[in-house]
Structure 1
Amino acid sequence: MPQQLAIIVLVDVANALEDKTLEGNAYLFDNMKLQGSEPQGTGDLVTAIHGSYWQDGSQATEQVLNWLPYSLGSIPPTVPRGYEADRARETDRQALRDLESLVLKPAGQGDDTAAQLSQIQQTLGTRTRTTRRTRGPASQKVLDVTGNVVAPDSTAGHSYPAPVITDVYGEAVDKKIMYPAEYGSPDMVTDGWYWSATVDSTRPGTYAYTMAIQLHRLVQQGSDWTWEPVDLTCDSALKITSEPKRNAFTKAGVGMLPIPPAAF
């Protein structure tokens, strides 16, 4: 059975957008640290791939890579899938309740109507639009990292959408060391899509590859707010080693376990 290896791509989106590069703003981790992957938590991760072969030289076990991108300083991906939509609906309901109270208020009771309308607008927050040009995340309200909506005139920081891997290419792909593709999945943490690749572990060596990663910047176009896509790249590498398939108990060739005659 193939071994599943996970590579976490953690991106500091705010700094990456400001610097216009992922260099120094991407942190890669995998679950092969004890097997030789290094340096963990940097943008220069080299993932260790341990392959094995049978006595006749054929590949014994292939390896499977899974890339999972996340945003640093945004709403955690572990919150319920409908969290942002729930928060948006709740602020809409609260704004309607406040507007109803304002409409039903007896005439002459205070002259702070403008201030109350302004507060309702703050409650509604900022809603983004998706256009053919931007092709960003679906229309939704902008939230901060605590899950509260961001008002139109607010200068507070906002939560960025998760980075999106749009391609995996480079030396490792060109030399047919790995075969990447995007797959659908019921895993809602990855929004139903993720990138995976099978690796030919019979060819030892170090092979570089590049991930094309799309970030999104919040921009105002006229009276509308949209998520503008920004395409950047992140480099990494695979280090493949190969050794004969061995019996985990005897450390020798694969075969029947030695059982003493007294056991029969």
Structure 2
Amino acid sequence: MAQQLAIIVLVDVGSALEANTLQGNTFLFDNMKLHGSEGQGTGDLVTAIHGAYWRDGSQATEQVLNWLPYSLGSIAPTVPRGYEADRARQSDSQALAELDAITAKPDAAGSDPAAELKQIRKAVGTRVKTTRRTKGRLSGQKILDVTGQVVTDPTKDAYSYPGPVITDIYGQAVDEKIMYPAEYGSPDLVTDGWYWSATVDSSRPGTYAYTMRIQLHKLVQKGSETLWEPVNMTCESKLKVTTEPKVNGFTGAGLGLLPIRSTDRGGSMYAQGPGPHDTTA
């Protein structure tokens, strides 16, 4: 059965857009640190791939990789899928309530309509225009900060960026057919219904580079409209494939008969291996 391996791609989106590069603004992690992965938490991750082969030299175990991109300093991806829409409706309701309060109260000395309208605009926030290239989760949503509050003036106030999106995986490891990446549909709403996965041929030891094309979104002002503009960048990582012979998980020896001690005669007897608990060295 294939082993599952997760690779976290954590991007400082704001810094990457400002520097126009993912270099120094991407941090990679996987769950193979104790098995030989190098460069955890940096942009130079080398993911350890432990393959195995049978006695005849054929491949015994393949590896499955899953890439999960996240944004550093943005709204947590674990909030409910409709969180942005809920916050937008709440801000609209608040603005309408404040507007009703202004129209309901009688004219009074000392009131400042301009200040009151400014407060209403603050409650309304800024809504991003929907375009053909920003459909889906970015469509028509209001701009929020990392605490979930609507942002009135994105040119002055800090705001949360949409999460990075992997749009392609290519390079040496793909060209040499070490791994076979593809994008898959998923019911996992955290990944917005899509994720990248790959099967790795773990029978060919060596270090192989691959490149991820990652799409970020930059907030731009065009006339009176605010838009999320896609920006494509690339990030490189590596796989280090090692292979070991498949062995018995109980004895550490090759596959074959598994010694079992008899409790009634005190002797030993042998059962045919490999059995359900075999593993790789």
Normalising by the residue count of structure 2, what TM-score does the alignment of the two structures yield?
Answer: 0.90
Deviation by residue 1:146-187 (Cα, 9 ceiling, x = unmatched): 111101366121100000000000000001100000111111
**Structure 1 unaligned residues grouped into runs of 5+:** none
Cross-structure match for 1:195: 196
Residue 73 (structure 1) shift? 0.7
**Structure 2 unaligned residues grouped into runs of 5+:** 270-281
Report SS of the residue matched to 2:196: strand
The answer on 1:167 being equivalent to 2:176 is no
Cross-structure match for 1:49: 49
CA distance in structure 1 between the aligned counterparts of 2:15 and 2:154, rounded to whole angstroms: 22
1:83-94 to 2 correspondences below 5 Å: 83-94=83-94
Cross-structure match for 1:63: 63
Q: CA, structure 1 residues 15+153, in 2 after alignment: closer, same or farther (shift >3 Å)?
A: closer
Deviation by residue 1:62-90 (Cα, 9 ceiling, x = unmatched): 10000001111111112222221111111
Residue 38 (structure 1) shift? 0.4
1:1-264 to 2 correspondences below 5 Å: 1-108=1-108, 110-132=110-132, 137-152=138-153, 155-261=156-262, 262=266
Residue 108 (structure 1) shift? 4.3
Question: How many residues are aligned here?
Answer: 264
The percentage of aligned residue pairs carrying the same residue is 70
Report SS of the residue matched to 2:259: coil
- AA aligned to 1:155 is K
Cα-Cα RMSD: 1.6
- Stretch moving more, 212-221 or 253-262: 253-262
Report SS of the residue matched to 1:173: helix
- Stretch moving more, 174-183 or 253-262: 253-262
- Stretch moving more, 51-60 or 170-179: 51-60
- Between 1 and 2, higher relative CO (CA 8 Å, sep ≥ 6) is seen in 1
Report SS of the residue matched to 2:166: strand
1:216–1:228 Cα contact (<8 Å) kept: yes
Q: CA, structure 1 residues 135+232, in 2 after alignment: closer, same or farther (shift >3 Å)?
A: farther
CA distance in structure 1 between the aligned counterparts of 2:134 and 2:89, rounded to whole angstroms: 24
